[in-house]
Amino acid sequence: MGKFGRLGGIAAIVGFAATAVVAFATIAPSRDARHEPAKTPLIESLAIRPDAVPEPKSYVREDVYQRGDTLPAFIERLGIEGPHIAKLAKLRALQQLRPGTHVRAEVSTDGEPIALSFLGGRDSLIKIVAEANGYYRVTDDRAQFQTQIEMKSGLIRSSLFAATDDANIPDSIAMQLGDVFSGDIDFHRDLRKGDRFSVIYELHYLNGRPVRAGRVLAAEFTNNGKTFRAVHYGNGYYAPDGKNLRKAFMRSPLEFSRVSSGFGMRRHPIAQAWKKHEGIDYAAPTGTRVRAVGDGVVEHAGPKGGYGNVVILRHHGQYATVYAHLSRVAVRKGARVAQNDTIGAVGQTGWATGPHLHYEFRVAGQARNPFSIAMPSANPVAQQDLPAFRNHAAALVERLDLLANVTVAQVQ
């Protein structure tokens, strides 16, 4: 039944209520009902006043702007009627609506708009308020979110994303989990069925509705029987003892993919001869984001023989990394990049038989297997900050302990 149908139903009930009565039955308690005569209910009548249920003057309707929607049809779907639809459709603020945007509208029972609001870019809350002169006032203010802390656990059966979907965890939190533990776990090669994880994260609400996830505050991941824990502090993630979980180099330049060719001897698909493969090949669709595994300076960015489009980064000390066969290069020679910055996209340029990323990790000019060498860690929590860190981490660690017990119980 539509909103106006419900209002009509309420009016009918109120009209009938002038002659309606409400019955209250009271029965005295008995110590032994078997020896007491049956009691006759006492019936009292109470007339309901016709004005006991006031007729509402407006209502709130919420809807999502869908792909394929026209603006006038969407405005009408919000319950707005008549000439107000055309006037609102001319507003630039509404013309910039994107599919998936959630709009909240307060509308009078006559179909006149009172106020509309929705979340714009960069967490701005856009409000459109009808004024007495027939015009609309548009404001653009920073949204005031209400933040709640969510605690979830999951079990790996096939992939991290499948497990987080099963646990109703947002994809952005799954991505953060992959980043937090990327120095210790290679999510392409190391993930095992039966691995467990727990995560504590922020969830931002607007008008009582969840709109997006925030930061991971703490997390635990048990991979192949070994457990890792992380606590957010300052601008990074640390183990409960203060050790920095951020390694100088991430294990992989892609968030989620699969290794199609490992480090060592192999038969080259083009040369048709056995050659030493001095890198790791990752199979991934063209356009997949390629990230810098560590802080560095761009030494080369562009075509380079059989590598096709390639980016070479020079890192501190004797370290360098190579990213080849790119469809797109996103950096320039001489630029400084930070770990996890986008430097290009997977492609099929140069000597490549299909879209993939060829990745090399070099030490003193020699290619090394990034899966077998120990990666240096970033600096731990400073000694003078340890007391404050431990105090901050204690409450989060208690929550991780609670989640770990729940997860184990579910598994058993």
pLDDT value for 27? 39
Classify residue 251: in a domain, yes or no. no
**CATH code of residue 67:** 3.10.450.350
321 with 264, same domain: the answer is yes
Residues 236 and 154 in one domain: yes
Reported as a single tens digit per residue, the pLDDT across 114-164 is 999 999 988 899 999 999 888 999 999 999 999 999 999 999 999 899 999
Residue 406 corresponds to which amino acid? V
The rounded distance, in Å, linking the Cα atoms of 406 and 250 is 31
Predicted TM-score of the model (pTM): 0.66
Structural domain contains residue 397: yes
Specify whether 103 is located in the same domain as 156: no
Q: Are residues 383 and 241 in the same domain?
A: yes
Q: Which domain holds residue 12?
A: 3-52
| Predicted pLDDT at 25 | 36
Same structural domain, 278 and 364: yes
Task: Please indicate, yes or no, if residue 353 is contained in any of the structural domains.
Answer: yes
Regions of the chain where pLDDT drops below 70: 1-39, 46-53, 256-277, 407-412
DSSP string, 116-135: EEEE-GGGEEEEEEE-TTS-
Question: How many domains would you assign to the chain?
Answer: 4
Cα(231)–Cα(209) distance, integer angstroms:
27
List the beta bridge partners of residue 105. Answer: 61, 116
Q: Are residues 172 and 207 in the same domain?
A: yes
pLDDT of residue 298: 98
Residue at 253 is within a domain: no
As a whole number of angstroms, the distance between CA 238 and CA 261 comes to: 33
Residue 317 — left, alpha, or beta (φ > 0 → left; ψ -120 to 50 → alpha)?
Answer: left
